[in-house]
């Protein structure tokens, strides 16, 4: 569709780009508005021209910087001025953010790095448009053995089988696990099905020596821990 050119009109943006760069480097985390952060990211793909109109179109289309970065490449390229190179540059930023968050929880006791875990899950799942179920399997020191993507769809016994979850844990030598899924609606409050399947998995785990530490539900409005609500 678009060819990654910011504008057909001549635009001398060197001074503007330099000012943005200085604000980014010296102004702190809140020095730039979301559209300005996006504008600066677009510099890597669009070497000349004014990237502000494209940044604003992206924010208008998707609603926020995080939603832009989590958008599918095809949806990004449907925005005027965004071509394959620009879409790839934005996806690289989103990938880097996920890798950074994941590195903060690898090789560390998960329960002692709880906020880092929540940050990782939020970056990875909060903006998904489908419901995704994951199981984090932990060793005796509560370090992550495996982050297992169980599947997509509603969390019930048709999608997640308690015996299969525990069997995989035994195969991995796990002694504990954390269930995770997201609510695409944005509201992370647990449903009756969420609570029921959690308790069935916890009961199956107790019989075989695998503890269910928690079930975390992630949404755009935040997260809910079933353990903290007294539901496990």
Q: Does residue 115 share a domain with residue 93?
A: no
pLDDT average, residue stretch 201-213: 94
Cα angle 142-132-61, degrees, rounded to a multiple of 5: 120
Q: Does residue 146 share a domain with residue 87?
A: no
Residue 178 pLDDT? 95
Condensed to tens digits (0 to 9), the pLDDT of residues 48-63 reads 778 888 999 999 998 8
Residue 3 pLDDT? 47
Condensed to tens digits (0 to 9), the pLDDT of residues 4-24 reads 544 444 444 667 777 877 777
pLDDT band, residue 45 (cuts 50/70/90): confident
Q: Which of 44, 69, 100 is the last residue of a domain?
A: 100
Residue 14 pLDDT? 67
Residue 6 pLDDT? 44
**21 is in which domain, residue-wise?**
14-100
Domain presence at residue 178? yes
Domain presence at residue 138? yes
Q: Does residue 199 share a domain with residue 117?
A: yes
Of 25, 21, 31, the residue nearest 51 (C-alpha): 21
128 token code pair: 């998904």
Q: Does residue 80 share a domain with residue 28?
A: yes
Do residues 222 and 120 make contact, with C-beta atoms less than 8 angstroms apart?
Answer: no
pLDDT average, residue stretch 77-103: 85
pLDDT band, residue 156 (cuts 50/70/90): low
Could you tell me the sign of the dihedral formed by the alpha carbons of 60, 66, 71, 77, in that order? positive
Look up the CATH number of the domain holding residue 92: 1.10.150.20
pLDDT average, residue stretch 215-225: 90
Q: Does residue 84 share a domain with residue 31?
A: yes
Do residues 6 and 81 make contact, with C-beta atoms less than 8 angstroms apart?
Answer: yes
Number of separate domains in the chain: 2
Element (H, E) at 217: strand 211-219
What does pLDDT average to over the chain? 83
Domain presence at residue 230? no
State yes or no: pLDDT of 28 exceeds 90.
no
Q: What are phi and psi of 137, to 5 degrees?
A: -90, 135
Residue 7 pLDDT? 42
Look up the CATH number of the domain holding residue 207: 3.40.140.10
State yes or no: pLDDT of 206 exceeds 70.
yes
Residue 180 pLDDT? 93
Q: Does residue 182 share a domain with residue 77?
A: no
pLDDT average, residue stretch 132-161: 83
Residue 17 pLDDT? 75
State yes or no: pLDDT of 173 exceeds 90.
yes
Could you tell me the sign of the dihedral formed by the alpha carbons of 86, 87, 89, 93, in that order? positive
Percent of the chain with pLDDT over 70: 89
Higher pLDDT, 137 or 128: 137
Of 67, 100, 102, 72, the residue nearest 88 (C-alpha): 72
Domain presence at residue 170? yes
Q: Does residue 72 share a domain with residue 19?
A: yes
Q: Does residue 117 share a domain with residue 215?
A: yes
Alpha helices (H) in 104-223, listed in sequence order: 114-125, 162-172, 192-208
Domain presence at residue 155? yes
Q: Which of 71, 100, 129 is the last residue of a domain?
A: 100
Could you tell me the sign of the dihedral formed by the alpha carbons of 170, 172, 178, 180, in that order? negative
Q: Which of 79, 100, 121 is the last residue of a domain?
A: 100
Q: Does residue 28 share a domain with residue 132?
A: no
Q: Does residue 120 share a domain with residue 36?
A: no
Domain presence at residue 5? no
State yes or no: pLDDT of 225 exceeds 80.
yes
Residue 155 pLDDT? 66
Beta partners for residue 223, in sequence order: 218
Do residues 182 and 125 make contact, with C-beta atoms less than 8 angstroms apart?
Answer: yes
Residue 2 pLDDT? 47
In whole angstroms, give the CA distance from residue 104 to residue 217: 20
Beta partners for residue 171, in sequence order: none
Pairing of strands 211-219, 176-182: parallel
């Amino acid at each position: 569709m678009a060819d990654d050119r910011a504008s057909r009109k001549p635009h001398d943006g060197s001074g503007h780009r330099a000012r943005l760069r200085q604000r980014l480097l010296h102004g702190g985390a809140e020095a730039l508005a979301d559209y300005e952060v996006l504008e600066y990211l677009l510099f890597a793909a669009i070497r000349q021209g004014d990237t502000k109109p494209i940044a604003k179109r992206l924010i208008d289309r998707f609603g926020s910087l995080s939603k832009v970065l989590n958008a599918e490449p095809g949806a990004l390229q449907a925005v005027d001025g965004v071509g394959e190179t620009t879409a790839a540059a934005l996806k690289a930023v989103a990938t880097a953010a996920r890798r950074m968050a994941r590195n903060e929880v690898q090789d560390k006791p998960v329960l002692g790095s709880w906020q880092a875990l929540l940050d990782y899950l939020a970056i990875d799942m909060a903006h998904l448009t489908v419901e995704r179920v994951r199981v984090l399997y932990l060793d005796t020191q509560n370090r992550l053995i495996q982050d297992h993507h169980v599947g997509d769809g509603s969390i019930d016994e048709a999608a997640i089988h308690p015996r299969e979850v525990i069997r995989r844990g035994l195969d991995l030598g796990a002694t504990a696990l954390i269930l995770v899924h997201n609510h695409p609606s944005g509201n992370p409050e647990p449903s009756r099905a969420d609570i029921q399947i959690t308790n069935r998995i916890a009961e199956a785990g107790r019989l075989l020596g695998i503890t269910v530490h928690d079930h975390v539900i992630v949404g755009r409005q935040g997260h809910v821990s079933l353990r903290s609500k007294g539901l496990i």
